[in-house]
Amino acid sequence: MHRYQDWIKAGQGERTADLVLKNAQVIDVFSGDIHESSVAIAAGMIVGFGDYQARAIIDLGGKYVCPGFIDGHIHLERSLVTPSEFAKIVVPLGTTSLVTDPCDIAVVLGLDGIRFMMEASRDLPLSFYFLIPCLSGFPEKETFGARLSSSDLKMVLHLDTVLGVSELPGVPGLFSGEKEALEIIRMAAHKRILGHALSVSGRALSARVIRGITSDHECAGHDEGLERLHHGMYLMIREGTGGQNLEQLLPLVNEYNSSRFMFVTDECSPDYLLEQGHINALVK
């Protein structure tokens, strides 16, 4: 049976669910409330709420159930561990997905490094998604083992786990119309383009937005954050080893615009993860 048919039948109660979490306090991020219910799961998908027959039932006795945390932007290599070891640390803290930019391994090994990270992240209890770094734009004074061209990006951009490109504003020619930079924008247009625009405002910010940059994790404070909201961007509230802007940006969040914000860490050292936590630390 196709999994979609399986989900539909289980949701309608026509087949037994795999698992029911009974007597749960469900944190509902859609309605913004907490209500008591049971949660039915089949073939890895939540298929319904309420009374369901299941092969296994866990009575939570009023404990809370909420969606897993997502880290919207992180350079995993800066945690100095492999994806499997990172999963061992953050999954017990509630993180179930992350979007990683493997720029650090790519500057050494290029596409081979990116493919290694993709392979190392398979079949883990933590879901990995990728934003491909645009390494052609780093200063010439830096020593690189590899660079990525638009042709290289084309090799991986079509993959389901690749959400787009990361930190595009560093690519030379982005604003002067050079062919290579425009080709990267064209290829990534159907996906996501992450910004990197610390202290950028006014016309320079408008130029980034018009080129498809939809989000930014480099934001110096309240005023920069507000200007990005006015430009229709998504704001990444960042707390990690490399930078912190939660105190500055959190006052911007209200009931009308909360969907324009996300939590990210950018980078987390091993001691930060063990002492502070991960996305759960931002939530606290």
At residue 150, the pLDDT reads 79
The pLDDT value given to residue 136: 52
- Residue of 157, 158, 182, 156 whose CA lies nearest to 168: 182
Q: Is the pLDDT of residue 77 over 60?
A: yes
Q: What is the pLDDT of residue 168?
A: 65
Tell me the pTM.
0.85
Provide the pairing of β-strand 64-65 with 95-100.
unpaired
pLDDT digits (tens, 9 = 90+) for 152-184: 888 888 899 999 888 765 555 555 556 777 787
Of 240, 231, 234, the residue nearest 258 (C-alpha): 234
Sketch out the chain's domains with CATH numbers: 3-65 (2.30.40.10), 69-283 (3.20.20.140)
pLDDT for residue 73: 94
CB atoms within 10 A of CB 274: 10
What's at 42, amino acid-wise? Answer: A
Q: What pLDDT, on a 0 to 100 scale, did the predictor assign at position 10?
A: 92
Distance in angstroms (rounded) separating the CA atoms of residues 7 and 215: 34
Of the two residues 153 and 139, the one the predictor is more confident about is 153
CA–CA distance, 208 with 216 (Å, rounded to integer): 10
Q: What is the pLDDT of residue 169?
A: 55
